[in-house]
Amino acid sequence: MSSRDSENYIKKMFREYYLKWDGRPPKEYERREYGFVPSRKGDVLRHVSFNDWREMKEFLAKNAPLHVYYSSAYYLQPSAQDMESKEWLGADLVFDIDVDHIYTPCKERHDKWLCLDCNFNGKGMAPEACPKCSSKRIDGKAWFCEECLNVAREETEKLVEDFLMSDFGFSEEEVEIVFSGRRGFHIHVENDVVKQLDQKARREIVDYVKGMGLILEGGRKKAHAPPLNASGWHGRIARGVYELLVGCDKEGAGIEEGTTKTICEKLQESKGYWLVEGDVCRAWLSLAKKAVASKRCNIDERVTIDVKRLIRLPETLHGGTGLIALRIDIDGLSGFDPYKHAVAFNSGEIKVKVAEAPKITFMGQEWGPYLNQVVEVPTGLAVYLISSGNAEVSP
Ligand SMILES: [Zn+2]
Ligand SMILES: [Zn+2]
């Protein structure tokens, strides 16, 4: 069967999902702009707004779009055709943690890319431009494995628990975690104070979360080391150093054992800031640098800084996977499995012709690897493989 049949099949499944859809509206939903990608051609239908959430439900059931987005911004005229006349009123603070932008070693095993101009190709993370001909027309085949999921989850926990709740003091109710539908998580902060922040203020938040511009008193002979329970980055660095020392990194840190012992003991007993000097100071600073690298949060800064961005609407389907952009409780994050909890189609099996797919654990069972073969798989996996361009429906 053709890709046309596959597209029709996906449309039919998405419509089935949206006929029963009961997604919760975002805060002040009538002030938001909505955008839709109706088909594989990829054109975006923008500047849509709804005064009644029932209209949204009807729209989704009728059109079954591949992607559904909404603005993190609130506007006076959300459906105005140009950004100027929309009259911006504010925006939620949004973070994107996406394995697409984070190096994970497992990508060398499961990701591939191909230059569409010169056919040069490779394994692992797709480069921005082709190393051979500099073309930017790169086609990547990316997968999201358990290792990738763990990395995305850890970054999300760090962001939400350490930065947003502990440092910034947001409550659990103000922070919403949503599976992106593909390779990561979106974190939305809805709060009247953040709503008014301009791009510059958001840039500051990005820098803080990414640990940019921290001054570690490098090159000095003396420094003040913080205690483990210090607030903000100070405590984060102290804890990071402590974890490095009680971990197996002592040799890797290239620091003499006596010095690491001194630092370790000091961190254990210190209630306040303590002075480091000479060799201990040098060791401390080099460890602090490593601690920053392990404690910083790997967010896609463009998303946070942009105050007029469209972002996937929670509980809608991702057209590139058929998975649900599921809202997740912070407590549920550690047990979250996208290939189980975010699967929209849970009954039946269908035959698909798979071009290529690595081994994947789906609904708690292992499938694949496949290479140019016709297989019968659960509907949810079929939708996933077809949506991601790795399979076609088979007669
Ligand atoms: Zn090339
Ligand atoms: Zn992986």
Task: Write down the pLDDT at residue 248.
Answer: 56
So what's the pLDDT on residue 256? 82
Q: What is the pLDDT of residues 78-104, one digit of tens each?
A: 999 999 999 999 999 999 999 988 989
State which residues have CB under 5 angstroms from ligand 2, the bound ion. 106, 145, 147-148
Both tokens assigned to 92: 């939620």
Tokens 């027309």 sit at which residue? 137
235 and 374 both lie in a single domain:
no
Residue 70 alpha carbon to ligand 2 centre in Å: 29
Residue 50 placed within a domain: yes
Q: What is the distance in A from the centroid of ligand 2 to the CA of 394?
A: 28
3-state secondary structure of 328: strand
Distance CA 214, CA 291 (A): 12
Domain stop point among 278, 295, 312: 295
- For residue 134, tell me if it sits in a domain: yes
What is the b/e burial string over 377-387, where b = at least 16 CB atoms within 10 angstroms of the residue's CB? bbbbbbbbbbb
The pLDDT assigned to 251 comes to 55
Place of tokens 């998405």: 14
Residue 264 lies in a domain: yes
User: What is the predicted pLDDT for the residue at 260?
Assistant: 86
Q: What is the pTM of this model?
A: 0.93
Give the CATH number of the domain where residue 361 resides. Answer: 3.40.5.50
Identify whether residues 337 and 349 lie together within a single domain: no
What pLDDT was estimated at residue 222? 86
pLDDT for position 378: 97
Those residues whose C-beta lies under 8 Å from the C-beta of residue 264, and which sit 6 or more positions away, are 242, 245, 246
CB within 8 Å of 152: residues ≥ 6 apart? 97, 98, 99, 102, 183, 184, 185
pLDDT of residue 250: 56
Ligand showing the shortest atom-to-Cα distance for residue 142: 2
Going from the Cα of 199 to the center of ligand 2, the distance in angstroms, rounded, reads 33
Which residues are 45's β-sheet partners?
36
What stretches in the chain show pLDDT beneath 70? 1, 217-219, 247-253
d(CA 321, CA 90): 31
CA of 141 to the centre of ligand 1 (A): 16
Q: What is the pLDDT of residues 172-209, one digit of tens each?
A: 999 999 999 999 999 999 999 999 999 999 999 999 99
Cis ω for the linkage preceding 369 (within 30 of 0) = yes
Q: Comparing C-alpha atoms, which of 169, 170, 200, 202 is closest to residue 96?
A: 202
**Do 156 and 29 share a domain, yes or no?**
yes
14 in any annotated domain:
yes
Pair (318, 366) in one structural domain: no
Range of the domain at 122: 107-141
Q: What is the dihedral of CA 103, 106, 109, 114, to 10 degrees?
A: -20
H or E, element range at 293: helix 278-295
Supply the pLDDT for residue 245. 87
User: 326 C-alpha to center of ligand 2: Å?
Assistant: 20
